[in-house]
Amino acid sequence: MLYFEFNTVNFNELIRSEISRVSLAHRVDPSVLEDLAQFVIDNYRKKPPKPKAIKPPKVKRLTLAQIKAAVLDHFKVLDAKALKQSAEFVMATNGMDIKLTGKEGWETLYRKFIGILPGEDGEAGEGCINGINIFKYTMPWRIFGLDPKVSTTEDVKTAYRNLSKVYHPDVPGTGDARIFERLTVFYESLTEKV
């Protein structure tokens, strides 16, 4: 093939004729197309740069002492001994197997009575729907993506139906009996109250 030099760039006859054709057909300055062609020639074998990973902001987790303090404050007691003797605590945790000897038990209480622990909001992975781990939290409105102030029974049914299409045990690939059972419990708790 023959090569022509233009703007210190060597293009073969095929590229030159295509640049001429496209520039006439689309009324584009040939130098723009020549620059593009040169860029393609210079870079067609180069691998694109890897995008920089965006690091999520570091979340300051609560210490065990901070978690305990929040739970004790919620039940308006001074220490774990008083907490265990509190009638309100006994009634609120009836049926729950809570051990206050380690961080896990205190975290469970925090999740149930205070709210989402820092670093657990926006979770992803198994058992997480709308940023909430459904096995750690009982937040049906949030899990269904609904606002309790304005949502209707029909909204709850629609949200449950949509999640069922993903998590029902008969759905290949995404079906999960444990998740579906938990969603059903949440659905029933909302439809009884709505």
pLDDT in tens, 106-141: 999 999 899 889 888 888 888 888 888 988 888 888
Give pLDDT, residue 193.
54
In whole angstroms, give the CA distance from residue 115 to residue 127.
18
Give pLDDT, residue 77.
92
Boundary (domain end) residue, out of 113, 146, 174: 113
Domain with residue 183: its CATH number is 1.10.287.110
As for how many domains the chain has, the answer is 3
Give pLDDT, residue 1.
39
In this structure, the answer to whether residues 133 and 90 fall within a common structural domain is: no
36-70 b/e (C-beta count within 10 Å ≥ 16 → b): ebbeeeeeeeeeeeeeeeeeeeeeeebeeeebbeb
In whole angstroms, give the CA distance from residue 31 to residue 36.
9
In this structure, the answer to whether residues 137 and 170 fall within a common structural domain is: yes
User: CB neighbours (10 Å) of residue 113?
Assistant: 14
User: CB neighbours (10 Å) of residue 87?
Assistant: 7
Give pLDDT, residue 2.
39
Task: Calculate Rg over the CA atoms of the chain.
Answer: 31
User: Do the domain assignments include residue 152?
Assistant: yes
In this structure, the answer to whether residues 188 and 144 fall within a common structural domain is: yes
In this structure, the answer to whether residues 109 and 141 fall within a common structural domain is: no
Give pLDDT, residue 177.
93
User: Do the domain assignments include residue 182?
Assistant: yes
User: Do the domain assignments include residue 181?
Assistant: yes
Q: State which residues form the domain around 164.
A: 128-193
- Taken in order 151, 152, 155, 161, the sign of the CA dihedral is positive
Closest CA to 176 of 123, 112, 129: 129
Give pLDDT, residue 155.
92
Low-confidence ranges of the chain (pLDDT < 70): 1-9, 193-194
Question: How confident is the prediction for the chain on average, in pLDDT?
Answer: 86
